[in-house]
Amino acid sequence: MSDIRFSRISKTFGNGVEAVLDFSLVIPSPTLAVLVGPSGCGKTTVLRLLAGLEDPTSGEIWLGDTRIDALEPRKRDIAMVFQSYALFPHMTVGENLSFGLSLRKTPKQDINTRVEEIAKKLDIAGLLQRKPGELSGGQRQRVALGRAIIREPKVYLFDEPLSSLDAKLRMSMRYMIKKLYNEVRTTTIYVTHDQVEAMTIGELLIVMQGGKIHQVGTPEECYHRPGDTFVASFLGSPPMNLLEAAFDESDGWLSMPGGERYEPKQAYAALLRRHGRRSVIVGIRPEDIKPAQGDEHGGLCMKGAVVLTEPLGYEKLVHISIGGAEVIAKSHSGFAVEAGGAMRISVDDSNVHFFSAETGRAIPEQAGA
Ligand SMILES: Nc1ncnc2c1ncn2[C@@H]1O[C@H](COP(=O)(O)OP(=O)(O)OP(=O)(O)O)[C@@H](O)[C@H]1O
Ligand SMILES: [Mg+2]
């Protein structure tokens, strides 16, 4: 199997920019992995290092049993699709698809079979005689994908391949890429800065910032058990609310913004005691906030003033000011709250996250983070 292994890879460019720092990661074969993080965090550089378009400053890259970081790009058996895809305008779709195989002197009959196969998979079989100028943006994008995957390499790399498409086309292409992966089961690394795209496409997310990995896990793990405050606020829209609280070791209670006190479950109190710091960050997802009914048993309750509401159709965002901190709640749109009114909110114990105020790391530390 062709597992991909990055071992302590760093890349410093000539201008001194440290684009990738001590990057270690194993991607088992096959996996649909998504590299996600804000602009400039080093995603493209990681792909280029893997494809052989950049040399690492230090570290090793392995594909299966072969160390590949010093191999020429064409010997690595990796296909890459860039953000800007250029089709040959004077060639038909069929010729664009077959071009790479012809260069490799693949027998004509094999080329035809493969072109038909790929065109069928990407739903462009009816377009083979057309030129790129006669296609829609989405059709052109599918031809570009087809051109990359027509070979059967060990790994596919996609660098923001959908960024030039409109929202609807992106959705259908996302579906196409997932479907394609399910059919071919060839390890694919997909790069995006869009957290929604990352969550919907990926089997495995690699969340990066500043050239470093913050967390590796399934979309569910990264969303529900973020390893640090960066991942907590990067994934999710609106992001997780992060509130400063003070832990009182003597009774195991937390003082929340606005002055209310909260007694976390015994198990959490024990973890916070072990953490041993007074200042902690409490994280709450907007959708986990409920209006308090007054009969809550345990859980976190806080009172604040409704500053603003934003209807989103099915849901509504409610901005609440609590002791100087602003909290965003996501509630069912039928829920009656008005800007200017007071509101008491509650959060179930199991939905409260804790992070170190010093390092931002989750308490307890998440496995895989
Ligand atoms: N050839 C280069 N020479 C010098 N610095 C570079 C070079 N390529 C990238 N960088 C820098 O390295 C860092 C990482 O760049 P990279 O292109 O990998 O980011 P990215 O995560 O792909 O961002 P985006 O989402 O904007 O595409 C950035 O600070 C960038 O300016
Ligand atoms: Mg990039």
Dihedral sign, CA of 120, 121, 123, 124? negative
pLDDT tens digit string along 310-352?
998 889 999 999 998 999 999 876 677 888 889 999 999 999 9
Q: Which residue's CA lies nearest to atom 29 of ligand 1?
A: 40
> What percent of the chain is modeled with pLDDT above 90?
69
* Residues around the ion ligand 2 (C-beta < 5 A): 44
pLDDT tens digits for range 223-269? 999 999 999 999 999 999 999 999 999 999 999 998 889 999 888 88
Judge whether 97 and 147 are in contact, CB under 8 Å. yes
| Count of other CB atoms within 10 angstroms of residue 64 | 14
Confidence of residue 369 (pLDDT cuts 50, 70, 90): very low
Q: What is the pLDDT of residue 83?
A: 61
Walk me through the domains of the chain, giving residue ranges and CATH numbers: 4-232 (3.40.50.300), 238-356 (2.40.50.140)
Residue 199 has pLDDT above 60, yes or no: yes
Output the CA 20–ligand 1 centroid distance in Å. Answer: 9
Mean pLDDT for all residues in the chain: 91
Binned at pLDDT 50, 70 and 90, residue 218 comes out as very high
Point out the ligand 1 atom lying closest to the alpha carbon of residue 20.
Answer: 14
CA of 112 to the centre of ligand 2 (A): 34
- Give 148's pLDDT tier (boundaries 50, 70, 90): confident
The per-residue pLDDT for range 14-48, each reduced to its tens digit, is 999 999 999 999 999 999 999 999 999 999 999 99
Tell me if residue 133 falls in helix, strand or coil.
helix
Q: Is the pLDDT of residue 163 over 70?
A: yes
Question: For residues 121 and 143, what is the distance between their CA atoms, to the nearest angstrom?
Answer: 11
Vertex 364: Cα angle to 211 and 349 (nearest 5): 120
Sheet of 18-27, strand order? 18-27, 4-12, 58-63, 66-67
Q: Establish whether residue 39 lines the binding site of ligand 1, counting it when its CB lies within 6 angstroms of any ligand atom.
A: yes
For residues 125-140, give the mean pLDDT: 92
- C-alpha 342: how far from its chain's center? 36
* The amino acid at 93: V
- Tens digits of per-residue pLDDT, 276-305? 999 999 999 999 999 888 777 778 999 999
Given this model, what pLDDT does residue 38 score? Answer: 95
The residues facing 188 across adjacent strands are 32, 156
pLDDT at site 122: 84
Q: Return d(Cα 159, Cα 163) in angstroms, integer.
A: 9
Report the percent of the chain where pLDDT is more than 70.
Answer: 97
Cα of 40 to ligand 2 centre, how many Å? 7
Q: Taking a C-beta distance cutoff of 8 angstroms, is the pair 208, 234 a contact?
A: no
For residue 138, the SS3 value is helix
Model confidence pLDDT, tens digit, residues 44-96: 999 999 999 999 999 999 999 999 999 999 899 898 877 666 789 999 999 99
Beta carbon of 53 within 6 Å of any ligand 1 atom: no
What pLDDT, on the 0 to 100 scale, is given for residue 151? Answer: 83
Ligand 1 atom 16, closest CA: 42
The CB of 43 under 6 Å from ligand 1? The reply is: yes
Phi, psi of 260 (to 5 degrees): -75, 150
User: What end-to-end distance do the CA atoms of the chain give, in Å?
Assistant: 25
β-pair partners for 304: 343
Sign of torsion over alpha carbons 64, 69, 73, 74: negative
Give percent helix, percent strand, percent coil of the chain, each to the nearest 5.
Answer: 30, 35, 35
Mean pLDDT of 209-228: 97
